[in-house]
Amino acid sequence: MAKIMIQGTGSSVGKSILVAALCRIFTQDGYKVCPYKSQNMSLNSYITLDGKEMGRAQVLQAYASGIEPEAYMNPILLKPTSDRKCQVIVNGKVYLNTDAKGYHNLKDEFKVMLKNDFEKIEEKFDIVVMEGAGSPAEINLRENDIVNMGMAELVDAPVIIVGDIDKGGVFASLAGTLLLLSDSEKERVKGVIINKFRGDIDLLTPGIDMLTDIIHKPTLGVVPHFTLNLEDEDGFMASSMKNEKKRDIDIAVIHLPHISNFTDIDALKVEDDVSIRFISKAHDFGNPDMVILPGSKNTIDDLIYLRNSGLEEKLLKYSKSGRILGICGGYQMLGEEILDPNKVESDNLSVKGIGIIPCITKLTTEKIMTRSEGVTSLGDKVYGYEIHMGETIAKCEYNYFVNLTSSNGEEASINDGYISEDKKIMATYLHGVLDSSSFRETILNSIRREKGLIEKKSSKYEAIREKEIDELASIVRESLDIDSIYEIMGIKR
**Helix ranges, 267-378 (H):** 299-309, 311-318, 329-334
Specify whether 23 is catalytic: no
Angle at 173 (CA atoms; ends 468, 230), nearest 5 degrees: 10
Per the residue annotation, which of 328, 359, 388, 396 is the catalytic one? 328
Angle at 468 (CA atoms; ends 463, 469), nearest 5 degrees: 100
Specify whether 34 is catalytic: no
**Rounded distance, CA 221 to CA 14, Å?**
14
Per the residue annotation, which of 255, 258, 388, 431 is the catalytic one? 431
**Rounded distance, CA 176 to CA 259, Å?**
33
Q: At residue 387, what are phi and psi to the nearest 5 degrees?
A: -140, 100
430 touches 385 (CB < 8 A): yes
97 touches 81 (CB < 8 A): yes
Angle between helices 299-309 and 311-318 (to 10 degrees): 80
**Among the listed residues 302, 300, 282, the one whose alpha carbon sits nearest the alpha carbon of residue 291:** 282
Rounded alpha-carbon distances, angstroms, from residue 256 to 259, 386, 392, 427? 5, 19, 21, 17
DSSP assignment string, 247-263: -SEEEEEE--TTEE-GG
Is the backbone of residue 224 left (phi > 0), alpha (psi -120 to 50) or beta? beta
**Rounded distance, CA 161 to CA 189, Å?**
7
**Rounded distance, CA 454 to CA 334, Å?**
32
* Catalytic positions: 328, 431
